[in-house]
Every structure is written in structure tokens, then in C-alpha cells.
Structure 1
Amino acid sequence: MNVILYTTHCPKCSVLEKKLNERNISFEERTDVNEMLNKGFDEVPVLDIDGKIMKFKEANAWVNEQ
């Protein structure tokens, strides 16, 4: 499973990053705002799991299920 966390280290980003770490889910962290804008992301955090893009609410629910 390939997991990428797009983050600006905002409060929601920190919550999601903490949960990923607590559940020992390996992930790559990306912080390049230009990359996020080029991908069409209009908010953070965004979690990319094997190409499936999830905004905070969906990503948080996914992490909670792991």
C-alpha cells in the first residue's frame, strides 16, 4: 500500500499524521504547496492511498478503521 500525506502542518494535518503514526501506517509526507495546487487540492490534509484521494473527513475515518 502506497500512502502519501499532503500537509501544511495545520491542526487537522497534525491530527491525521499522529493517527497514522499511532497505527504504524507507513506514509510519505509531502509539503509542496505548488504540487498540491497543481493536483487541484483545495484543502489539506489530503491522503492519497494507492491513487485514491481522500480529504480530512474520509481520511480520518479510513485511518480509524485501520
Structure 2
Amino acid sequence: MVYQRLIRFLKRSIYYQKNTKIVKLKGANNAQFGLYGEQIGDNKATISPEEQQKQMVQQTVQWLNEQIK
């Protein structure tokens, strides 16, 4: 429920380019994205930092490949 509200808020509050892609990495959290330690209000990650980074790279490469087609 909170996630859905956040997404609705972001969609109303931020201008996205037409090729914007929002991806939710299940088990990931904010602190592991940049490896800068725990963040207030951040959920506990259920995947390793390495797995999170691997998924992020895969999603980024996929998005980049879609842009050049």
C-alpha cells in the first residue's frame, strides 16, 4: 500500500521522459544501491549487495539496448 502511494506521488510530482523505466528490485534497499550504510527509514535488504548490483546492471543494460533499437 505504501509503495503504491509512493509510486502515485512520484508519477504526479516528477516529470519523466517518455523512455523512463521504473524497476523495483525485490529484496533491494536504498543503502545497498550506493553501499553507503544504513539509511533512516530504509527497509532491511533480503538480497546481498552483490545481487542487487547485478540486477541493477542487468536492468540498465537492458534499458540501454532498448534505446538503440
TM-score by length of 1: 0.29
Relative CO higher for 1 or 2, CA cutoff 8 Å, sep ≥ 6?
1
Select the structure that is richer in helix. Answer: 2
Select the structure that is richer in strand. Answer: 1
TM-score by length of 2: 0.28
